[in-house]
Amino acid sequence: MRCRHAKKVRHYYIVLNFWDCGYCRSNFNRPTGKVPNEEQASRNLQVRNIQQENSHIQKIDMLHLNNHIKMKLNNSPSIKMIHHNEQDKSHYYDKEAVVNFKDPPSQADVDKMAREIDGKLIDKLDSVYIFKSNSQTTTELIQYFDQNNQVAFVEPHYIFLQNEVNDTLYRNYQWNLPAVGTERGWNFTRGSDDVTIAVVDTGVDLNHPDLSGRLAKGYNVLAKNDNPNDDNGHGTHVAGIIAAVTNNAEGVAGVTWYNPVMPVKVMNAEGIGGSFDVAEGIRWAADHGADIINLSLGNYQSSQVLEDAIRYALDKDIVVVAAAGNDNTSQPSFPAALPGVISVAAVDWEGKRAPFSNYGDHIDIAAPGVYIPSTFTDGQYASLSGTSMAAPHVSALAGLIRSVNPNMKNTEVVEMMTKTTQKAGMDVPDIYYGNGIIDNSEALQLTYKRTKPFGGWFNRFNGR
C-alpha cells in the first residue's frame, strides 16, 4: 500500500508504506539512520523505475567546477588575493575601490575624482560608489580616497562566491525533511503568503514547474532589471529547499507550502559576485518586502559595505541567515560571522557534522546539508551537499515561525530556533553545531505557545 506521501518524480515513483515513511512515524524527531547505501535505503524506500531515461537528472561535478573557478581567480591578472592562512584565501578586483561617502558627491566632484584616478565611476547605490582606474592599483586608490575628508570608508571590491557544493549525487528520497520534524511542524503551520523569504544568490529558474506559483517579484542586480533568472543552478536549488511545491506529484517537496520566495540575482553564471552587488541585493530585498534573507555565499574577508547592508536589513527587523562555508576550517566566513546573522553549519543523515562544514565559535545552528535533493535549472533536479543547502532549511523555518507570529522580532525568531534544537547529547553551544540541529516541530510548538497560549492546540487546525 502506498502512503499519501509517495510522489512521482518524473520517470520515477517513490513508493513508501505507512510504517517505513519517515513522515508518518509520529515519534520521528531526529536525523535518520544511515541511508546513503542502497541496501539500507531499500529498507525504508522502494524506487520503481518507470522509464530508463533519466536525462532530467543533473549530475554535475560542482566541486571540480568551483575549484576551476578558484584557479581562474588565482591566475587572473585583474584579480588580487588575500591569504588568511595556508588554506583560506579571499579575492578582490584590482584597480577598483568601493567608496562610501558621508554625503553623496556632486556630479562635478565625481567627474573630478574620476579624472584624478585616471578612471571612471562604474556603479553606485545611495552613498556607496565603485570607482575603477585604468592605471592605479587598489592600494593606490585606497590611499587616494583616504585623503578625502568626505569619505566615510574605502575598501577593495571583494569577490564573493557561492558556497561551493561539496558533492553532487541524485537521490530519490528526502531524508532531510523528517530529520528536522518538518511534517509534524506542518501541524502548526504550513506557511503564509504574507511572509516572504528572499534568496540572494545566482537567481532562480523562473519557469521551473516545481516552483510554479511560489515566486515573488525579484530583481537582477547585475543587469539592473526584473529578470533574476538563474544561469548557474545554485540559487534554484536553494529556493527549492525552501519552497518546492508540496503535494503536487512533481519532483521534490519544500519545507514551506505557502511562503513566497523572492529571487535576487547577485552572482553570475560562475557563481561569482562582488561585495557591492551582494550588498545591493540585500538592500533591494530589505526595501521590497523580504521578511527573511538567505545568503548561501561567502568570503573570508569582511567587507564594510556588506556589513552596512546586513545592519540595514537587521534594523528593518529582517531575519538574516547565511551559510558557514565548506572548507572544513575555523576561519570565520562573511557574512555568516557578522553580528546578528544566523551562521548555519551542515550535518548529515546521522546528525553528524558534515566533514566539509566550517566550524568555530561563530556557528549558531546546524541543519541538513548532505545529499539534499531539490530543484535545478532548466526544470531539472539535483542532489547537492554544502552549508549552502543547510542555510535554506533555517530560512524556511524562520519563515514558518513568522507565519505563526508575523509580529515576532528577528531576535525572537532566532530564540525560537536555538531554544528548541536537537542536542543529541552534546553540550551547547558547540563549535561544530552551534546551539544544535534545528527541530521544526519543537520550534513551531514553542512559537505557537508563546503566541496563542490558550486554545492553540484546537485552533491551529482551522487555518494553514
Q: Please answer whether residues 267 and 280 qualify as being in contact, where contact means their C-beta atoms are separated by less than 8 angstroms.
A: no
Q: For 83, phi and psi rounded to 5 degrees?
A: -95, 115
Q: At 218, is the secondary structure helix, strand, or coil?
A: coil
Matching residue, cell 564594510: 304
User: Beta-carbon neighbour count of residue 39 at 10 Å?
Assistant: 7
Reply yes or no on whether 427 is catalytic: no
Determine which one of 343, 388, 395, 403 is catalytic: 388
Q: Which amino acid is at 452?
A: K
Reply yes or no on whether 64 is catalytic: no
Determine which one of 201, 291, 327, 348 is catalytic: 201
Burial of 247 (0-12, 13-18, 19+ CB in 10 A): exposed
Determine which one of 5, 91, 208, 234 is catalytic: 234
Q: If we measure between CA atoms, which residue out of 174, 231, 225 comes closest to residue 201? A: 231
Q: How far apart (Å, rounded) are the C-alpha atoms in residues 130 and 82? A: 20
CA distances from 218 to 35, 205, 206, 265, 267 (A): 37, 12, 10, 8, 14
User: Beta-carbon neighbour count of residue 102 at 10 Å?
Assistant: 12
Q: For 127, phi and psi rounded to 5 degrees?
A: -100, 5
Reply yes or no on whether 378 is catalytic: no
Mark out the alpha helices in 2-96 (DSSP H runs).
38-44, 62-75
Question: What positions carry a catalytic annotation?
Answer: 201, 234, 388
